[in-house]
Amino acid sequence: MFFFILVVGFVIAATYYRHQLEAAYEEAGRRAAPIRSAILPFPQTYKEILLKYFPYYNRLNSSQQHAFEQKLLTFILSKKFIPRQFDAVTDEMKVMIGACAVQLTFGLPRVYLQHFSKILIYPTDYYSSLTKRFHKGEVNPAFGAIVLSWKSFVDGYIYPTDSVNLGLHEMAHALRLENIIHNDEYDFFDDALVEKFDAYAYQLCHLPQYADESFLRAYACANEHEFFAVAVENFFERPAEFKHALPELYETLTKLLRQDPLILNP
């Protein structure tokens, strides 16, 4: 009996330490992501996914594509992708979600949304017991997590000009939060520009006729975070219309994100 308890105890302890060790390796791997991505070749399978499904990447010249690949690999290696209600995260999921983050932050070289180290993926829209509602995605700063419904994420890229893109919307929330979280990436936005952007948002949302004539969907006026996220979706999905309808807001966004989707490849 004593021997049996000893063996069971040993197995439990060994399993516990193996998990600890694996977690430590994973964490070390994520921390070394910038070095690993500089050494490792960009996988051909990743490139094929980008060529097939990611128009933004296809519009870049070859040196920009190289920079995009480098940033994407660092992003993928530095995040923990967690499947929820299904078995395993595929390369396609990692590449597409990572590419979405790189698209948004391509003009901000040192920004990788560092605080958000976990990407939780549900196969479809998921039920939240907290809000008692179905969700497509959310950003949870307390858990350092970005949560996405894969189906809704993919819809964002299947319909590239309808101004609805869940991935860009949630990444935009994460980006705005990252700017005010104290870490290596802290304070990359020019404060005056953020203030200018929010002042435009306030003005637009308080125009009496705005509800009828708005270029951005009404949800943008929920608060300044939603306004920023919805503006980002429009910035990438219908930049010409955005620039025409709200030129000053568009220009402020080009300065904040340090890129212009209308002239990606100058």
Judged by the rule CB under 5 A, the positions of this chain that interact with Zn ion are 226, 229
Q: At closest approach, how far in Å is the CB of 220 from Zn ion?
A: 9
DSSP 213-251: H-SS-GGGGG-HHHHHHHHHHHHHHSHHHHHHHSHHHHH
Q: At closest approach, how far in Å is the CB of 169 from Zn ion?
A: 6
Q: At closest approach, how far in Å is the CB of 129 from Zn ion?
A: 20
Distance CA 266, CA 61 (A): 9
Beta-carbon neighbour count of residue 50 at 10 Å?
23
Q: Is the CB of 96 or the CB of 171 nearer to Zn ion?
A: 171
Distance CA 148, CA 89 (A): 12
Q: Does residue 83 contact residue 89 with C-beta atoms inside 8 Å?
A: yes
Strand partners, 224: none
Q: Is the CB of 92 or the CB of 155 nearer to Zn ion?
A: 155
* Nearest residue to Zn ion, by Cβ distance, number only: 229
Q: Is the CB of 71 or the CB of 173 nearer to Zn ion?
A: 173
Q: At closest approach, how far in Å is the CB of 135 from Zn ion?
A: 10
3-state secondary structure 67-122: HHHHHHHHHHHHCEEEECCCCCCCHHHHHHHHHHHHHHHCCCCCCCCCCCCEEEEE
Q: Is the CB of 73 or the CB of 139 nearer to Zn ion?
A: 139
Q: At closest approach, how far in Å is the CB of 102 from Zn ion?
A: 20
Q: Is the CB of 205 or the CB of 229 nearer to Zn ion?
A: 229
